[in-house]
Structure 1
């Protein structure tokens, strides 16, 4: 097997032997599980055991090096919590090993449900059970006491929403290449109506169906993945994005989710929101604001891809038409705020 770029198996083996003597029983091989704009994920095996290694993308800059330590820290902190996460094996912040920080964790059994075909194969009963398990895990995450799991200093929850609105406006300004009617109005209305946040919680930052592993036989969530955006903040920001991904009804959302939530047996977002409220006791009277924020964020992300593609700086399936979806998200965000008003 050809070793994929970005990983030196001899260096990884030496480090694992030094840090976890006896864990590795033979020569290592590796395959790239995912790639692209996010951190890189490899399956590493000695022929008997399998692990997962996460590192920043190729061409990574030092400013984001801390991501690996943050991911490793939050996963380690949640090890004995109701939120299922992989067991961490080691963290390496020494750039002499792979040139960048990275960490290794145990491989967890389960599948990623990326599209409608995947969820349809579950059948209606198990599809519904998976949807309930998914929102239950999010509720469990948000009701954890950060201090109890050693994450009291994991972020700055005060002013979290105000910083989110400002941050995504800054991202938008960095990608402006055309007129986007309504986008400045959407930002201004979000900034002027920021809700009072509830008690700070551990926020995943990108919680959705294809960021978890599922046991398709039991409909159980076996692990929550991709913690690179985790912090302390307003838990309803997670819920707003979850609602958009689940039930957004926009072609742009389907680019991300593959319409996985439209399979037979999958309930609508309203049912899952009610289940979340019952488990957490959260006041969801301003949830529309959080959904509108999610639409603004996704619009900015897609506009950034459109901008980079138009500059010849990125390629990908459908990137030539991705900009067509941005105006609908902007209009959807404004309409959602109108509903709240």
Structure 2
């Protein structure tokens, strides 16, 4: 067995044999799955079955972030609903095994549209359909009754938006690499112009084109992935953040591939309209949620930059996140000024 950063395959095999005897049929092999800038995801196989393994980053884990237990719980709860998720297999909370909690899920045979060459496979009709499926699945997620799937206590919807601002500000303070002059104004605008929340629902927390897997023929979404930020709260935070990601895709920023409307991809406004067509939620305050989305990504970028400076990132592309932070804060302030 050849170990990987953050994944001791011998320790994993020993744990599997003890906690889930019979699950492993042969020697384990693994590889890092490209694309993740936060939690680490690996492809693991015993020669007969293939799984995906998720664990937190190697260092500098922020409070409430990278929570494997919550992520495992939500995909377990959503199994059997109309929201497509990978099958939950096993959860390990013993940090002695791999140095952090982790879980195994079924490996989904699908396509992630996270690179220009992947998007180039789509004709204009398929490109439009992927965006429509993305928005329709988000509506479906927000329509799931948390109590009906055992997630009634998965979050505290009351005061969700104010806690979001406080929590993300706190995470910024835990990761700050240098003072940013825009930060104070962004926090003030988020607090002073906060809207009345939408009715609570399951919130993905990082919903975007690159966090879903499509079937190989692009006819449907095979799985929504990366549930590390999931909670109960105001679902319009998902919509606002999705608008941010869609906007950033124009310049191939923050891991988003270019989504050219001339190639059939919906614009941010069209994606919002698709969501509005399937949902009865009031979107009149969406600019605030977009501003919050930009602020969140600024915090995420600062956290990634902090880990990069500490030499605790795995893979390429982490050196670009520091420069993105002031641009994201500026965009947040612009959106919030429209309020």
TM-score, reference length from structure 1: 0.88
Cα deviation for residue 317 of structure 1 reads 5.5
1:67 counterpart residue number = 67
2:254 counterpart residue number = 255
1:28 counterpart residue number = 28
2:126 counterpart residue number = 126
Query: Are 1:338 and 2:337 counterparts?
Result: yes
Aligned ranges 1:258-277 → 2 under 5 Å: 258-260=257-259, 264-277=263-276
Classify the secondary structure of the residue corresponding to 1:122.
coil
Cα deviation for residue 5 of structure 1 reads 3.3
Cα deviation for residue 57 of structure 1 reads 2.5
Residues 1:216 and 1:129: Cα distance change in structure 2 (over 3 Å) = farther
Classify the secondary structure of the residue corresponding to 1:147.
helix
Classify the secondary structure of the residue corresponding to 1:77.
helix
Aligned positions, number: 337
- 8 Å contact kept, 1:115–1:260: no
> Which runs of 5 or more residues in structure 2 are unaligned?
none
Deviation sequence 1:135-175 (CA, Å, 0-9, x none): 11111111111000000001111111111112223334451
| Distance in 1 (alpha carbons) for counterparts of 2:105 and 2:34 | 15
Cα deviation for residue 81 of structure 1 reads 0.8
Cα deviation for residue 328 of structure 1 reads 3.4
1:200 counterpart residue number = 200
Classify the secondary structure of the residue corresponding to 1:232.
strand
Residues 1:183 and 1:12: Cα distance change in structure 2 (over 3 Å) = closer
Classify the secondary structure of the residue corresponding to 2:89.
strand
Deviation sequence 1:155-209 (CA, Å, 0-9, x none): 11111111111222333445162452x4322221110111111221111111111
Query: Are 1:177 and 2:178 counterparts?
Result: yes
Aligned ranges 1:47-126 → 2 under 5 Å: 47-59=47-59, 67-126=67-126
RMSD over aligned Cα atoms: 2.8
Deviation sequence 1:41-87 (CA, Å, 0-9, x none): 22111212111111222247696698111111101000011111111
Residues 1:257 and 1:235: Cα distance change in structure 2 (over 3 Å) = same
| Distance in 2 (alpha carbons) for counterparts of 1:213 and 1:335 | 32
| Distance in 2 (alpha carbons) for counterparts of 1:241 and 1:42 | 26
TM-score, reference length from structure 2: 0.88
| Distance in 2 (alpha carbons) for counterparts of 1:65 and 1:305 | 12
| Distance in 2 (alpha carbons) for counterparts of 1:212 and 1:243 | 16
